Amino acid sequence: MTEPRDYTANEYLAILAARQLKDGQVVFAGVGIPLLAATLAQRLDCPNLTILFEGGVVGALVEPGKLPPSTNDQRCTKSANMVLGSAEVLLLMQRGYVDVGFMGGAQIDQYGNLNSSFIGDSTNPSVRLPGSGGGNDIASLTRMIVAMKHEKRRFVEEVDFITSPGFLQGGESRRDSGLLSGGMYRVVTDLAILGFHEQTRRIEVLSLNPGVSREKLQDNTGIRLDFSPELSETPAPTQRELAELRTVDPERLFTD
């Protein structure tokens, strides 16, 4: 194991996100930490992980040191299984071929709904965000993992706009709305790993990252947190994980 000073918060975030993936899964990955984490997972314990990108790439195999800045970058296509149109790769989710959706988030609420559209009033927002892209499709049709920085302004009682649906109003509301599959699975942050209660579908803390107390986590969260009865401490990065991560991203494009 390594001491906390030996890695950055973003490096830890990428490693924690990679740990959520399983060998043999098909994962729809967004750019940034999700792309880095999926690539890292392939090199660590998931050689049969299939990565899909919104640009149409199926079975991406990203070369170390050549991380694409966008999922539409042509470097994503090298050694890929196939390259489809954007519509065709999104249709794979509708047909049930994708296990996990993997994205970042600007704002998330207690039921896992994501906002990447705007902050503030819809008629005069204080901040305009990138929008949905394929985010709504991914969240509507797959089991979702979100990787994001843990800040009070990001974790809110109710998002200003639901760009990508989590469990909507909790309970059975997602299924009642017609979204019969998928749902939010994990939220991975630099402070904790969070899941969603099986009945209420409200967010709950599964593990605290090293050096993080319940009080510190709550102080950095804009909603009241529930803690799992099996609350644990998240394992720190191993030397192997850090070495592979720095091989994949030697210039620290996503981890500084």
pLDDT for residue 51: 93
CB 183 within 8 A of CB 167: yes
pLDDT for residue 255: 79
In the chain, which residues have pLDDT < 70? 1-5
pLDDT for residue 131: 83
Which positions ≥6 away from 7 have C-beta within 8 Å?
Answer: 237, 242
Task: Tell me the one-letter amino acid at 135.
Answer: G
Q: In terms of residues, how long is the chain?
A: 256
pLDDT for residue 110: 97
Domains of the chain, residue spans: 4-248
Fold classification of 4-248 is: Glutaconate Coenzyme A-transferase (3.40.1080)
pLDDT for residue 43: 93
Residues with catalytic roles: 54
pLDDT for residue 79: 83
φ, ψ dihedrals at 21, nearest 5°? -90, 150
pLDDT for residue 27: 95
pLDDT for residue 214: 97
CB 113 within 8 A of CB 165: yes
Task: List, for residues 141-158, the tens digit of each pLDDT value.
Answer: 999 999 999 999 999 999
pLDDT for residue 200: 97
